[in-house]
Amino acid sequence: MTTSTELGRRLAHLREEFGISTERAAEWASLPAERVESIEETGQMEPWELHRLCQALAVNPGTILQGLERSPKRSIARFRAAVVHAQPPVNLRLLAVGAEVGRILGSLAKMMSIPLKVEHLRRPTALSDTEPMWKQGYRLGESARSRSGLAQGPIADLEKSLTTLGVHVGRVTFSSEDLDAASLWEIGSVPVILLNQASPRVKYLLSRRAVLAHELCHLLHDAGEADLTTQVSWAERERDDSAEQRARAFASAFIAPRDSVSHWARTVLGRTRSRDLVHSLARHWGLSKDGAVWHAKNCKLVSASMAEDLYQDRQVGEARWMSRFEGGRVDDVSPALDVRTDVLNQVPALWAGLGAEIIGRAYEAGAISAGRAREILDWH
């Protein structure tokens, strides 16, 4: 049994691993700094204070009370290793929160016997030494699409399709707009994609589709120690490593497999110019302007020289057709819930989508109380 002193020491250890002061922890927990100092020293606190501190430090209260929390040192090192630049503690905390969201949802999904189709798609794959990253990415993306069970042809709502596969897409605000998204998955958890609401690519509907498919590649194929996946994706100018190159190619191939694109192109080639074909490709498959040019070249619909020309002339009247994708959602608006309960009146952006659906189903089945459901949804 955990003593009060041990509990206070564990909370202090977690705070120190984040590299923050008691003042910053107090700010995150909405508590006075002197109160946090007292709690760490004595371990004496009210239940609501424990809840606030645990949420601030991204750990489940029940987990820390039982002494089952992950090693703070290893967990925070895992998140620090996932970022290409030194990051402020707030970003490390959001990654830790994302991991905890996955654990909570994984526990509820197991309790409710909710299958996660994405588990059957996961195949950690080493970066190739024998083929270019874009070719490996295309091959993996097309394979994942064929095994996903998704219908052939354009994916009208990619975010909803990921939810169907068992991937939770949450929205947070990282400290830099250059960070597009993060993907997290560990054994027993629901895989989580965190979209950065500050990222221009996430705000733009078509590039957000590419970001989602990009993160799916990381979840399915990039696994580190003990099958953990912690990957952070940056804006184009920041992404030069092999794993990112592979994920970019995977995204295009998953959204628009080459065989399907070639079959579609044969039906329109006779009545459109090659230059206009790229615009049609974007409209039909829901690709961004840049993505359509790049993908058309790799599908051998246009020459490399024409692709270069098209990169210089990328203005497409997207407003007329873009609403056909992602349910017409713009910016970072979350998809509508399929499950409606009295505890889901206001769902934070972190939980909207699959997370709220699992929580709602657990509540409706009596597996958790309304209080517990609201307590979970209070995480942010």
Eight-state DSSP code of residue 170: E
Q: Over the stretch 314-326, which tens digit does the pLDDT of each residue have?
A: 555 677 778 888 8
| Closest CA relative to residue 100, chosen from 66, 131, 54 | 54
CATH at residue 30: 1.10.260.40
Query: Residue 81: what pLDDT?
Result: 74
Percent of the chain at pLDDT exceeding 70: 87
Residue 82 contacts by C-beta under 8 Å, 6 or more apart in sequence? 95, 182, 230, 231, 232
Average pLDDT over residues 83-90: 76
DSSP codes joined into one string, 237-255 = GG--SHHHHHHHHHHHHHH
Please check whether residue 59 is in contact with residue 100, taking contact to mean a CB–CB distance below 8 angstroms.
Answer: yes
Name the more confident of 314 and 378: 378
Tokens, residue 355: 């997370």
Inform me whether the pLDDT recorded for 24 exceeds 90.
Answer: yes
**3: helix, strand or coil:** coil
- Identify whether 19 is part of a domain: yes
Please check whether residue 206 is in contact with residue 318, taking contact to mean a CB–CB distance below 8 angstroms.
Answer: yes
- Identify whether 64 is part of a domain: yes
- Identify whether 340 is part of a domain: no
Query: Residue 345: what pLDDT?
Result: 77
- Identify whether 27 is part of a domain: yes
Tokens, residue 101: 């969201």
- Identify whether 75 is part of a domain: no
Query: Residue 350: what pLDDT?
Result: 93
The Cα 26–Cα 56 span in angstroms is: 8
Inform me whether the pLDDT recorded for 229 exceeds 80.
Answer: yes
Query: Residue 363: what pLDDT?
Result: 93
- Identify whether 172 is part of a domain: no
Residue type, 87: Q
Average pLDDT over residues 341-365: 88
Find the distance separating the first CA and the last CA of the chain, reported in whole Å.
Answer: 29
Residue 70 contacts by C-beta under 8 Å, 6 or more apart in sequence? none
Q: Which residues pair with 231 in a beta bridge?
A: 183
Name the more confident of 375 and 344: 375
Chain centre distance of CA 3: 37
Domain total in the chain: 1
Q: Over the stretch 32-70, which tens digit does the pLDDT of each residue have?
A: 999 999 999 998 999 999 999 998 988 888 778 876 666
Residue 29's domain spans which residues? 4-69
Query: Residue 72: what pLDDT?
Result: 54
Residue 326 contacts by C-beta under 8 Å, 6 or more apart in sequence? 156, 157, 158, 159, 205, 208, 209, 286
Name the more confident of 146 and 280: 146
**Angle subtended by helix axes 274-285 and 258-268, to nearest 10:** 130
Name the more confident of 264 and 240: 264
Query: Residue 69: what pLDDT?
Result: 60
At 17, the pLDDT band (50, 70, 90 cuts) reads confident
Q: In whole numbers, what is the pLDDT of the chain averaged over residues?
A: 87
- Identify whether 122 is part of a domain: no
Average pLDDT over residues 105-116: 95
- Identify whether 77 is part of a domain: no
